[in-house]
Amino acid sequence: MERDPGQEGETIAAEPRAEILLEATALSRSFAGRSAPALDGVDFRARAGRITGIVGPDGAGKTTLLRVAAGLLKPHAGSIRVLGAAPGAAARAGTARIGYMPQRFGLYEDLGVAENLDLFADLQGLPFHERAERFAELLELTDLGDFRARRAGRLSGGMKQKLGLACSLLVRPRLLLLDEPTVGVDPVSRRDLWRILDRLVAAEGIGVVIATAYLDEADRCAEVLVLDRGRVVACAEPATLRHRVAGRVRLVEPRPGCPPRVLQARLEELPEVRDCSIRKGRLRCLLDQETAAVDRLIEGLPEVASSAVVEPTFEDAFMAMQESRPDRAGAATPIAGLASAADEAMIAVEGLGKRFGDFVAVSAISFTVRRGEIFGLLGPNGAGKTTTFRMLCGLLPASDGEIRVAGRDLRRAPGRARAGLGYMAQAFSLYPHLTIVQNLRFFGRSYGLGGRRLRRRIEEVLDEFDLRARRDEDAGKIPAGFQRRLSMAAAVLHEPEILFLDEPTSGADPLARREFWARISAFAARGMTIVVTTHFMEEVESCDQVLLMSRGRELARGSPDEIRALARGPKRPDPGIEDAFIALSEGEVVVGAAAPEARP
Amino acid sequence: MSSGLIASLIRLRGFLRKELLQIRRDPSSILLALVMPVVLLLLFGYGVSLDPEQVPIAIVDEDGSALARDLVARLSASRYFEARPCRTMAAADELVVAGRAEGILRIPEDFERSLGLAGGARLQLLVNGVDSNRASLVKSYLSSTLGNWVAIRAAAGESLGPPPAIRIEPRIWFNPGIDSRHFLVPGLIVLIMTLIGTLLTALVIAREWERGTMEALLATPLRRGEFLLGKILPYFGLGILGLLTAVAGAVYLFGVELQGSFWLLLLSSSLFLLAALGMGLAASALLRVQFVAAQVAVLAGFLPAFFLSGLLFDLESTPTPIQVVSHVVPARHFVAICQTLFLAGDVFEVILGAGAWLLGAAILFLGITYRRLGRGME
């Protein structure tokens, strides 16, 4: 019933408050070599004075829609009008009042902040006499005034995005098109970016269309377009969408001492539970239907302390719109092993540091990971996660400190230490011209597997990762979700004791991320030790231990509960990990000898 | 000026300034444009020489007459030869086998006596033919040295009759010193311009795609003509700088005289540079990946300029199909122009035809790039 765009269209038409800046009618666009269209009959309007969000899983058509609106791609069918004209025409005439910020940083990294502004002012025809004032205004807005001369390549991820925003705002656009501007950006900059957008909308009445991978951001939009495989699933105010699942969301508190992950696996076994995720140490369940029977079922679980129906968020509404439950193939395995997680230290790091020339990428990092634990390295882009991670896997020699992995010194015996490790790189690093099975065979052999054992393991992972249907297709041609599963399958083929995953959920949609974490939890339950990096703050809720990093240093370390507790105070009675990150990195909270209780 | 033109000039100015800043901050392009010509010039000028010099020659003087000794002295004095006197043919043979001599000059015992006779005097010349090119060079050098010797003796009032049993070809056009530098150095200009033109520019559009800046540019009012001009002008400047360095080096360092007009050289170089830039830009715009574009530029631009331009290898002696193919390579026509201008002078029959080819190539490649840019993100 959610898949009725016409009905949603009327919801908007009923409130003709503001001028329509962008109007797409039955818009379609496909790409050569891909059978399914990227956009398939999309009807969409964006108005002045409000922020319109676009959300949807990978390949939903978000970027294509924005590119068509920016005049970079031509529609194949249907029509689109931007500021009353065909897109691109105004841009070519040099009179466009449209700002567009592509998903990738579109500025010149070898140019300075002011030089980039100058360039885009020239290209967009900003009159000379307005420049000094406008530059000052934008640098003030984006807080980049102190960095005029700094090369864009040396800005932090958040500052880069702000500079990109400043460049797209030069000509005072009436419509701003932003393609996932907050991906990989630290929470402080993410909050700042949203503040800037809110200010622009309030003060100048511009219209903003923003594609986002963060579902919590959708709640901040006046209106949200939900896309899936090129079609409109819904287009309405977030409140309207939330209202649809009202009463179907239940927050379940685990019994003290019971890890949320264990309860999550238990709840997901219930057929009535559509979706279950860990939020702030509690389980958020989206139910197909809220009935007394389901309540009794949940309350009756031995791991449950209490539960209550709560207000839905946009994410709940979004999950309810998905056709099927996320795949939880791995989660069915027994969880019994977890309780007996041995105290054996699988990874011990002491005073780890890495310098590149005079640039300190990582300094004074120490932690211990025990068998069967999920250890999360959390931080924005450029925090030093990947550098730390590479040192842990023995891909990069450490400048300082000691690393012992599975009891071996990584500096002395990197080869032997590595044989027991599985590694999944951030980028897709399999051979695109080999089939799934050929890739698995190659990676298995390179880890020393062969003969009957290799054949058995390949058969096992084909089932475990649900790859059998495409076993003989080229790895380069299967969908991104399959590629991610294949990468993971290749990493665990040799049954490693420790699994390293570098940004495994980067670019993945909410469904794929859930599926991924379900698998990870299952691995940990079987006694595998897992180290994972991520910039999605909420994801670390599934970790046993988290290291929060910022600018190469430790910001905080501990269980998700302990980290949240750091930020708890009268202003924030129930902080999330992201709140904690902001509080910690702004110095509002200081970690004193890792003793959160000591705080006032 | 119309406001549209002003806006266009402002965009071009901004884009050009950005390109220049990027060139300035990327030392590799400066190195390629200024340091490499000098390195290549020195390498080719001093290191690579196709001329035999101080070629060791075993001399077996069986005659021992005053005239024979004078001939030996003449050969020893020549900078092309290093005389290695031997007593017997067997000893000379050993030198050749051991690689310590490249040929044997045998002066038979009746050399002086038979000079006046009807059949003329006879000399035996044996040349190691392993390297056939070199063998024929050594042979012709020896012949001309002998010819000189006869001429000198004749001038001194001695009539020796025809030179001793070896034909002489004393006149060599356009390269009186038969100095290979004189055709290598002009050819070098072709290599330098190809490197700067094709290799540097192969990277520059692909880089915009790879770094995601192309998408941002496409969303601005910047037109493709302005974009193309902004890409051509800086690298054209770098190419001309490389040209001037190479010409200055050729003239002042190696004493290669420019026989033709400098302005004609500049004009034809500009045409060639446009063709080379066009080739690099077209590869960059079509492939959108720096690594692949650079490989294609080397394969399609640099290697043909090296092997199929007549720069190193005489195209006349290659099989007909290769000669036909070589006509497609713009470098071939530019090599012809350079060698003509440096060694012969303003020979318009050569220059006009070759220049037309270069112009055609420039229009073709830049046209391809312009069309491709028009497709935007499609």
Q: Are residues B307 and B190 in the same domain?
A: yes
Q: Is B7 on the interface with A (CB under 8 A)?
A: yes
In a mutational test of the A interface, the residue from B28, B218, B224, B288 whose CB has the highest number of chain A CBs within 10 Å is: B218
Q: Evaluate whether residue B173 is within a structural domain.
A: no
Over the stretch B308-320, which tens digit does the pLDDT of each residue have? 887 777 777 778 8
Is A92's CB within 8 Å of B217's CB? no
Q: Are residues B71 and B20 in the same domain?
A: no
Residue B282 has pLDDT above 90, yes or no: yes
Number of domains in chain B: 2
Q: Evaluate whether residue B162 is within a structural domain.
A: no
pLDDT of residue A325: 53
Q: Are residues B88 and B197 in the same domain?
A: no
Nearest to B216 among A106, A109, A110 (CB): A106
Residue B183 has pLDDT above 80, yes or no: no
Q: Evaluate whether residue B31 is within a structural domain.
A: yes
- For the domain that residue B143 is a member of, what is the CATH number? 3.40.1710.10
pTM greater than 0.90: no
pLDDT category of residue B131 using cuts at 50, 70 and 90: low
Q: Are residues B149 and B222 in the same domain?
A: no
Q: Give which of A520, A514, A512 is closest to A482, Cα–Cα.
A: A512
Q: Are residues B195 and B293 in the same domain?
A: yes
Is B211's CB within 8 Å of A111's CB? no
Concatenate the DSSP letters of all residues of A24-81 into one string: EEEEEE--TT-SS-SEEEEEEEEETTSEEEEE-STTSSHHHHHHHHTTSS--SEEEEE
Contact of B293 with B203, CB cutoff 8 Å: yes
Q: Are residues B76 and B212 in the same domain?
A: no
* Most confidently predicted of A163-167, A564-568, B159-163, B295-299: A163-167
In a mutational test of the A interface, the residue from B18, B28, B224, B373 whose CB has the highest number of chain A CBs within 10 Å is: B18
Residue B164 has pLDDT above 50, yes or no: no
Span B12-31, mean pLDDT? Answer: 89
Q: Are residues B10 and B131 in the same domain?
A: no
Q: Evaluate whether residue B169 is within a structural domain.
A: no
CA distance A99 to chain B (A): 8
CA distance A64 to chain B (A): 11
Q: Evaluate whether residue B184 is within a structural domain.
A: yes
Is B11's CB within 8 Å of A115's CB? no
Rounded CA gap, B180 and B53, in Å? 12
pLDDT of residue A47: 93
pLDDT of residue B226: 93
Q: Are residues B225 and B357 in the same domain?
A: yes
B63 lies in which domain range?
55-155
pLDDT category of residue B117 using cuts at 50, 70 and 90: low
pLDDT of residue B49: 59
Nearest to B220 among A111, A120, A164 (CB): A120
Q: Give which of A22, A50, A17, A95 is closest to A200, Cα–Cα.
A: A50
CA distance B231 to chain A (A): 15
Q: Is B225 on the interface with A (CB under 8 A)?
A: no
Q: Which residues of A touch B211 (CB under 8 A)?
A: 104, 108-109
Q: Is B9 on the interface with A (CB under 8 A)?
A: no
Q: Are residues B251 and B351 in the same domain?
A: yes
Q: Is B321 on the interface with A (CB under 8 A)?
A: no
Structure-block tokens of residue A19 = 């001028």
Of B101, B123, B155, the last residue of a domain is B155
Residue B335 has pLDDT above 60, yes or no: yes
Nearest to A108 among B10, B18, B220 (CB): B18
Q: Which residues of B touch A113 (CB under 8 A)?
A: none
**Which parts of chain A sit beneath pLDDT 70?**
1-17, 33-34, 90-96, 323-342, 413-414, 417, 507, 589-600
Of B155, B171, B190, the last residue of a domain is B155
pLDDT of residue B62: 86
Task: Give B301: exposed, middle or buried? Use CB within 10 Å, 0-12, 13-18, 19+.
Answer: buried
Q: Is B229 on the interface with A (CB under 8 A)?
A: no
Q: What domains, with CATH codes, occur in chain A?
A: 5-236 (3.40.50.300), 245-325 (3.30.70.920), 339-420+497-509+527-591 (3.40.50.300)
Nearest to A124 among B21, B211, B221 (CB): B221
pLDDT of residue A16: 53
Q: What is the mean pLDDT of chain B?
A: 82
For chain B positions 348-377, those within 8 Å of chain A (CB to CB) are 376-377
Q: Which residues of B touch A91 (CB under 8 A)?
A: 219-221
Q: Evaluate whether residue B99 is within a structural domain.
A: yes
Q: Which residues of A touch B230 (CB under 8 A)?
A: none
Task: Give A124: exposed, middle or buried? Use CB within 10 Å, 0-12, 13-18, 19+.
Answer: buried
Q: Are residues B195 and B315 in the same domain?
A: yes
Q: Give which of A222, A202, A228 is closest to A314, Cα–Cα.
A: A222
Q: Is B213 on the interface with A (CB under 8 A)?
A: yes
Q: Evaluate whether residue B168 is within a structural domain.
A: no
Q: Are residues B44 and B188 in the same domain?
A: yes
Contact of B234 with B63, CB cutoff 8 Å: no
Chain A residue with minimal CA distance to B6? A125
Q: Which residues of A touch B378 (CB under 8 A)?
A: 73-74
Residue B185 has pLDDT above 80, yes or no: no
Q: Are residues B259 and B279 in the same domain?
A: yes
pLDDT of residue B262: 92
- Kindly give, in sequence order, each residue whose CB lies less than 8 Å from that of residue A118, ignoring residues fewer than 6 positions away: A131, B14, B17
Q: Evaluate whether residue B171 is within a structural domain.
A: no
Residue B21 has pLDDT above 90, yes or no: yes
